[in-house]
Structure 1
Amino acid sequence: MTRFRSRPLAASAAGGAPALTSTGDPSGMDWPREDEPEARPDWRERFALGTDLALIGVVVTAAALPVLTLTAALAAGSTAVHHRYREGRLPAFRPLLRQYGRSILPGIPFVLVAVLLLIDLLALSRGLVPGGTPVLLVTAGVAGLLAGVATLALVAVGRDPDTPWRAALSWAWSRTSARPWAAIAPALAGVMAFFLALSVPATIPLVIGFHLFAAHVISDRLAPASSIRGGHHPSA
């Protein structure tokens, strides 16, 4: 749609009558101008983004194979996805490798908690422990909420790789308390990614990269970085 842009009127030297300002047209007329079309990524840029996310997922999967390094691999992958998301290119490899190395030990307790929750859910679903369906649903809900909080913490670490895990979790929990959807939305995306990976195990590397990207996009809407700087900065 064509928009008409108003221009100030300049007083003429003779009688003070308003006159149209010069627009570069020889006739001195103020012709309507069309807005510049908004630049949008074409198919090549979208294909490059998908390829980079797949590459990040493959590297994260390989780095997480020892299992105890899962959290460190996800943290480095979150940083890579955030850099690709914001800067339009992949980050340098060495900073990611350093982040991966220093995140292994602090991340082991989170891996153990995740493994225990998974074992508990499997035992409840197979009837190996008492409680039945009600306890299974409650446990699944708690596990989903904790997964959403952990995803927010990964996003915080991706935004600032120097963020301590305790500070990232504190910020993620504060955002969840203030706005539960900030954790529920990425948790639901994680559930979908989890069942997709179970259905087609060969897609696990792709699912990881794209889920990290979705977590950053969702968190930018529901838990933006400005809220971190506003008083709950994870590096504080």
Structure 2
Amino acid sequence: MTDLRWPVDEEPRTRPDWRERFALGTDLALIGIVVTVAGLPLLTLPAALAAGSVAVHHRYTTGRLPGFRPLLRRFGRTLLPGIPFAVAAALLLLDLVALSRGWVPGGAPVLVLTTAIVAWLAGAATLILVGVGRDTTAPASWAWQQATARPWSALAPALAGALAFFLALSMPATIPLVIGFHLFAAHVISDRLAPSSPPTGTGHQR
């Protein structure tokens, strides 16, 4: 008799239990709290988010938090380059407020168009944070390539960011939690929608 080769079912993937999920939530909350405190001067917020992205990526890929010194180095290296991003974000937010309250002409069409542009830019900025967290050599160039080649890779983080923004506005006490979990969601979404790995730098900051 010939041997019969019956199909073999794949073994189910090991899923993290409640303890691992609780530990992940706790670590993300801790990252969000540190980022919130470090970003309170507002001009330091981009650098704080960049360091938080590094911490989230390390936690996402290794299952543990990184050391404090690599995060501090990343914060210091991103501090001055991040100031123009903070100023630009403040100006865009002020522009949206002025349009929504009728302080400047344009009406609803200009408001909708400006909102769409700001949302796309927010998604692209989120991809830049993901690239920084992955320790890329050119995170802005990689983010632009992903956002133009795969539009959903920028739109999906933008939608998630809008949801996180309105959640933070409705419950300001949750801002630290929202920041940590949104950074984690940005890395997960980027891996799903922009799977091509960005070029890593020569020296790891983690």
**TM-score normalised to the size of structure 1?**
0.80
Relative distance call for 1:52 and 1:102 in structure 2 (3 A) is same
2:134 maps to which residue?
Answer: 159
Q: Percent identity?
A: 70
Does residue 1:82 correspond to 2:57, yes or no?
Answer: yes
Answer whether contact 1:75 1:154 (CA < 8 A) is retained: yes
Q: Is 1:183 the equivalent of 2:154?
A: yes
Matches within 5 A, 1:142-221: 142-160=117-135, 163=136, 167-221=138-192
Which residue identity lines up with residue 168 of structure 1 in the other structure?
P
Is residue 2:79 matched to residue 1:104? Answer: yes
* Residue equivalent to 1:49: 24
| Higher RCO structure (Cα 8 Å, ≥6 apart) | 2
SS in 1 for 2:167: helix
Q: Which has the higher helix share?
A: 2
| CA distances 1:190-231 after superposition (whole Å, capped 9, x unpaired) | 0000000000000000000000000000000111243x2xxx
Contact 1:57 1:207 (C-alpha < 8 Å) held by counterparts: yes
- With 128-137 and 217-226 compared, the bigger mean Cα shift is at 217-226
Structure label with greater radius of gyration: 1
Conserved? CA contact 1:78–1:154, under 8 Å: yes
Q: Does 1:114 align with 2:92?
A: no
Task: Show structure 1 runs of 4+ deviating over 2 A.
Answer: 32-38, 233-236
Residues 168, 235 of structure 1: 8 Å contact kept? no
Please give the root-mean-square deviation of Cα atoms over the aligned residues, in Å.
2.1
Structure 1, gaps ≥5 residues long: 1-17, 21-29
How many matched pairs? 201
Seen in structure 2, the aligned counterparts of structure 1 residues 234 and 132 have a Cα distance that, compared at 3 Å, is farther
Q: Where in structure 2 are there 5+ consecutive unaligned residues?
A: none
